[in-house]
């Protein structure tokens, strides 16, 4: 079993705790005064070295904290100044500002591409007899929706509304209309999506709030072709 501890500081402390006793009883424990003095000198040197290392380590930590704090302050101010430079370049519409400041100009915006087609188009008849349409989709990148309608007896689709929402209330149906088809498509700028699957709404036949899907009852049975 080892007598000395494994850790350096623990070994210094081990000898420090015994030096006085060894010096007082050198002959009785088989040592001479010169040996004890030599050990004492080395213990003192080891303690001095340890204390110096601790001071250096603490100084290094303090220096690291100072460095990080200073760098954070520099970066924060620098970011603010870069924002100011970019704002000035945009305000003056002068791209040379970026070159003079050696700041990269903003990348041109990536085109959003055509919008996704709306899905889950559904409709119901409210208490006033108007048709309420709802669907799923996105309004991102300035997407909006166009609603088309084809009432019983009509041969072509009619554009009836454009809105930046995912719902629409149609209260413009002619009196006596008993069935109508709706379809909705998304639009972004000049780009348009495919239309959602059309739905067939029967009026004056189904209970209030009922919806008939075009897939469940063919429009041809009502004189309507999808």
Residue 181, classified by CB atoms within 10 Å of its CB into exposed (0-12), middle (13-18) or buried (19+), is buried
**Bridge partner list, 202:** 179
pLDDT at 9: 93
Domain boundaries, the chain: 8-91, 119-222
Q: Which among 121, 150, 151 has a CA at the least distance from the CA of 215? A: 121
SS3 101: helix
Q: In this predicted model, what pLDDT tens digit does every residue of 177-224 receive, in sequence order?
A: 889 999 999 999 889 999 999 999 998 654 433 344 444 444 444 445
Residue 159 contacts residue 170 (beta carbons within 8 Å): no
Q: Which among 208, 133, 142, 204 has a CA at the least distance from the CA of 166? A: 133
Residue showing tokens 């709030």: 209
Q: What's the Cα-to-Cα distance from 138 to each of 95, 155, 166, rounded to whole Å?
A: 34, 31, 8
Inform me whether the pLDDT recorded for 85 exceeds 80: yes
CATH architecture for segment(s) 119-222: Sandwich (2.60)
Q: In this predicted model, what pLDDT tens digit does every residue of 115-136 receive, in sequence order?
A: 999 999 999 998 888 999 999 9
For the whole prediction, is pTM greater than 0.75? Answer: no
């Amino acid at each position: 079993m080892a007598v000395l501890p494994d850790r350096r500081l623990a070994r210094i402390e081990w000898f420090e705790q015994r030096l006085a006793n060894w010096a007082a009883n050198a002959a009785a424990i088989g040592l001479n005064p010169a040996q004890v003095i030599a050990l004492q000198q080395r213990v003192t040197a080891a303690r001095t070295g340890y204390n110096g290392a601790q001071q250096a380590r603490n100084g290094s930590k303090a220096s690291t904290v100072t460095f990080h704090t200073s760098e954070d302050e520099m970066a924060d101010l620098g970011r603010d100044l870069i924002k100011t430079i970019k704002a000035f370049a945009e305000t003056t519409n002068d791209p040379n500002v970026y070159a003079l400041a050696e700041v990269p100009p903003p990348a041109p915006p990536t085109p959003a591409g055509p919008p996704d087609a709306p899905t889950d188009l559904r409709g119901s008849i409210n208490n006033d007899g108007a048709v309420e349409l709802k669907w799923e989709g996105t309004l991102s990148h300035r997407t909006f929706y166009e609603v088309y309608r084809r009432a019983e007896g009509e041969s072509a689709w009619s554009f009836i509304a454009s809105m930046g929402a995912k719902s629409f209330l149609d209260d413009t149906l002619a009196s006596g209309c008993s069935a109508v088809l709706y379809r909705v498509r998304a639009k972004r700028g000049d780009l348009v999506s495919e239309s959602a699957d059309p739905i067939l709404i029967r009026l004056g036949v189904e209970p209030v709030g009922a919806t008939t899907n075009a897939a469940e009852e063919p429009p041809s049975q009502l004189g309507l072709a999808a």
